[in-house]
Chain A
Amino acid sequence: SAVISQKPSRDICQRGTSLTIQCQVDSQVTMMFWYRQQPGQSLTLIATANQGSEATYESGFVIDKFPISRPNLTFSTLTVSNMSPEDSSIYLCSVEAGVTEAFFGQGTRLTVV
């Protein structure tokens, strides 16, 4: 099973600023996924990050707002740009959905004030 280290665990940010969330996996994985979970809501897929190519964004999410990097097979970052209070959520990275299970990072609880 994969072990995923995600940081920061939580942050409180001022509106208009940006936050970069990091996700480090202890093994090489082809695809990494970034999710958002707004209060009381389900996990919503933001984008799929492939190594060596641009991320694939889901409907309603754009690269300018959520730029993603995937420099190698064990690491990815998600940036939440120009934040507003509506961006207050839990952000989760995960790897390898489907073969047996999806492994999740510990999550980042973001509060925008």
Chain B
Amino acid sequence: EDKVVQSPLSLVVHEGDTVTLNCSYEVTNFRSLLWYKQEKKAPTFLFMLTSSGIEKKSGRLSSILDKKELFSILNITATQTGDSAVYLCAVEADRGSTLGRLYFGRGTQLTVWP
């Protein structure tokens, strides 16, 4: 059975700290791994990763994928209170059509205290 596992499930830090969020997966017909930030209801896209070892970076956020070990990490440096959210990892699997389906992890609840 396909699955996506995120750790930790929750994390509390102070502003300025650096955090690393983990995502491991066991999905057949892997196509890509995506990270989302969910603040209220709707997830917003952060990164899509398809190749191993290539870091994607956006401001204080960065992410990298290891397709051999089947995991990805999301790093946030110099955290701010606005980073408080649930971070979701999703893996896209090919279902034999042009569009894959997404398998989501349970998310990491990040709380940043001032």
Contact = CB atoms under 8 A, between A and B. Distances in A.
Interface of A: 30-31, 33, 35, 40-45, 48, 90, 92, 96-109
Given A42-B4, A102-B34, A92 B41 contact: yes
A45 B106 contact: no
Given A42-B4, A42-B88, A97-B99, A102 B45 contact: yes
Task: Tell me the dominant secondary structure on chain B's binding face.
Answer: strand
A98 B42 contact: no
Q: How large is the interface on B (under 10, 10 to 19, 20 to 34, 35 or more residues)?
A: 20 to 34
25 contacts: A30-B99, A33-B101, A35-B104, A41-B106, A42-B4, A42-B88, A42-B104, A42-B105, A42-B107, A43-B43, A43-B90, A44-B104, A96-B99, A97-B92, A97-B101, A98-B31, A99-B99, A101-B34, A101-B48, A102-B45, A104-B43, A104-B44, A106-B42, A107-B42, A108-B41
Given A97-B92, A98-B92, A104 B101 contact: no
B32 interface: yes
Contacts of B45: 101-103
Contacts of B90: 43, 102
